[in-house]
Amino acid sequence: MTYTINALNQQYGIAGKVTFVNGKGNLPVVVINNELSSAALSLYGAHLLSFTPAGAADLLWMSDASFYEAGKPIRGGIPLCFPWFGPHATDAAKPQHGFGRLSHWQVQEVSALGDGATRVVLMLAESAATLELWPHAFIATAEFIIGTSLQLNLKVTNTGTGDFEYSNALHTYFKVSDIDRIKVAGLAQASFYSGAATTLQTQETELLSFDRGEETNRRYVQHTSNCAIHDEGLNRKIEVSKSGSKVTVVWNPWQETEKKMVDIQPGGHKTFICIEPANAYPGIDMIQLKPGESHTLGTSFGLV
């Protein structure tokens, strides 16, 4: 798809507040600045690259080694995983985490809201390329409300004639001072699968810490509570709420997995934690939609 930055600015730009630019790799980016916060949103992947509340630092982490190239995912920010989370259930050749983060999304709406926030809605529908990977008609919208907090709603509607099921995640990379020193609240007593394990464990501690010297890759199931990142090093606390999600994924690759990832700079794992509202469990937590039905997965986060 070809975008004309001038045409996007003419149709959707808001003077002083919303500007379209050619971002890294020539991928079009919406830059939002309002009195409450600022943000950058790539049309490639409907991928939020930054969210900075006024007077504060960015809440999101971006990899210094990220690709900005069609066909490859951007590393950091909020990749949208859709219509499957993780590897494809039956075909390893299909892209990990689906095609949502690898697709060019269209702008559907940009508006200034009465409370000073800015609303941007991006849209993706089936195409020859998506039908090859997933044989279903759909419309997905990603609604971003950039205010004191960041709200993101990923709504998927079945526009075809048959039922379908899918999984999804808002794979949010939060910037932290030092993975050894942060703690995450909101997971106490929740049941989780760790890595490839098929047996459930229960989180006994009130706060989750990451100083075990290994990768953390946990899927907390039937988990709907808010989480909070306590970060003494950055002297801040980020609260993360969600809706339409039964699974919370918590991930940090640690050194060993980081070494295998070409798009994370050495030591990069030290400065992020992923907390991901998801519906991500083939056979358990898939979303099923009949023709005409919709499902919305949402998250909201900000400083508290």
- Residue numbers at the binding site for ligand TA6 (CB under 6 A): 73, 86, 96-97, 171, 217, 249, 251, 274, 276
Output 47 or 171, the one with its CB closest to ligand TA6.
Answer: 171
Output 179 or 249, the one with its CB closest to ligand TA6.
Answer: 249
Output 97 or 269, the one with its CB closest to ligand TA6.
Answer: 97
Q: Distance (Å, rounded) from C-alpha 111 to C-alpha 240?
A: 24
Amino acid type, 166: Y
Output 3 or 68, the one with its CB closest to ligand TA6.
Answer: 68
Specify the 3-state DSSP secondary structure of 212. Answer: coil
**Are 142 and 164 spatial neighbours (Cβ–Cβ below 8 Å)?**
no
CB of 175 to ligand TA6, least distance (A): 17
In this structure, what token pair is assigned to residue 121? 């809605």
Output 116 or 244, the one with its CB closest to ligand TA6.
Answer: 244
Q: In what order do the strands lie in the sheet with 227-231?
A: 106-112, 118-125, 138-146, 150-158, 294-303, 236-243, 227-231, 183-185, 207-209
Of 282, 278, 297, whose CA–CA distance to 222 is shortest? 278
CB of 281 to ligand TA6, least distance (A): 12
Output 27 or 274, the one with its CB closest to ligand TA6.
Answer: 274
CB of 117 to ligand TA6, least distance (A): 28
CB of 54 to ligand TA6, least distance (A): 30
Per DSSP, 262 falls in state T
Phi, psi of 11 (to 5 degrees): -80, -35
Ramachandran area for residue 208 (φ above 0: left; ψ -120 to 50: alpha; else beta): beta
Output 107 or 273, the one with its CB closest to ligand TA6.
Answer: 273
What is the number of alpha carbons within 13 Å of residue 284 lying toward its C-beta?
13
Of 49, 51, 50, whose CA–CA distance to 37 is shortest? 51
Specify the 3-state DSSP secondary structure of 74. Answer: coil
